[in-house]
Amino acid sequence: MSEESPFPLHRIVESILFASQKPVSFKELAAIFKGAADAAKENPLVACHAKVKHEEISEAIQKLEAEFLETGRAYEVRESAAGWQLVTRADFAPWLRQLFPENRSAKLSAPALETLAIIAYRQPITRADLEAVRGVAVDGVMQTLLDRGLVRIAGRAEVPGRPLLYDTTQYFMEHFGLKDLDELPNAAELRKVSLPTATPPPEEKPPELPFGEEPAIESHNSHTSHESHEEPPAEAGSEEPT
């Protein structure tokens, strides 16, 4: 599609990102283009975008980013793990907070942020290991992080007791504008730092018996075997005459 067309690819992508209230992935963009083409087969300006390639989407995004930066727009394209999204620049946050005071989210406490950072760098991780690192119980902050949708239960550890494992969520990635966990500051270095771990619970041992006493052994089988060899008692009057 030429630049003179009223529907160049980057303008279509801009309209989709502008209207969407969440990040849009390449898969979702491809479905939108195909659906629009199927619904307007008679319109060549729409049908020609039925099959867009990932490279074409990337070029359209780059064109938008360059245009927004060049013209000093108040918004930008942000890419996260979930896809692309059109967002206002952080420079304008003081005015936008006044426009939407009811959407002002409560800040996380320092303990919650510290716990979240440990999970982000060492996930999946158990609550016991978190407490070993922080040196305090984390029940309250863990519930806060779960309620905020920043962490989730990821399964159970293959250790005695099968404790729950926790890791970060898709919302965590979107909230902090991350495409993947490698974008965390000093990710490679901090993942290798040695941290305290929880002491595994001791295995249960059978109770100790007094010296010389042996544990009782179930002898049901041997008793049954002994009975099977006994002769049945003779019935009265069953003896043969002499």
Angle of helix 54-71 relative to helix 26-39, nearest 10 degrees, comes to 100
Q: What is the mean pLDDT of residues 231-236?
A: 44
CA–CA separation, 153 vs 46, rounded Å? 44
**Between β-strands 151-156 and 164-168, what pairing exists: parallel, antiparallel or unpaired?**
antiparallel
Please tell me if the domain spanning 9-91 has the same topology as the one spanning 110-190: yes
Cβ atoms of residues 85 and 78 within 8 Å: yes
Answer yes or no: pTM beyond 0.75.
no
DSSP 8-state secondary structure symbol assigned to residue 24: B
pLDDT in tens, 96-122: 888 887 766 678 899 999 999 999 999
Q: Which CATH class is domain 9-91?
A: mainly alpha
CA atoms lying within 13 Å on the CB side of residue 118: 26
pLDDT in tens, 47-92: 888 899 999 999 999 999 999 999 999 999 988 888 999 999 989 9
Q: What are 220's two structure tokens?
A: 């049901």
Cβ atoms of residues 127 and 167 within 8 Å: no
Domain boundary assignment for the chain: 9-91, 110-190
Cα three-residue angle 141-149-151, rounded to 5 degrees: 60
CATH of domain 110-190: 1.10.10.10
Cβ contacts of residue 161 below 8 Å, gap of 6+? Answer: 201
* Burial grade of 29 (CB within 10 A; 0-12, 13-18, 19 or more): buried
CA–CA separation, 33 vs 37, rounded Å? 6
Kindly calculate the radius of gyration of the chain based on its CA atoms and give it in whole angstroms: 34
Assign 215 a pLDDT band (cuts: 50, 70, 90): low
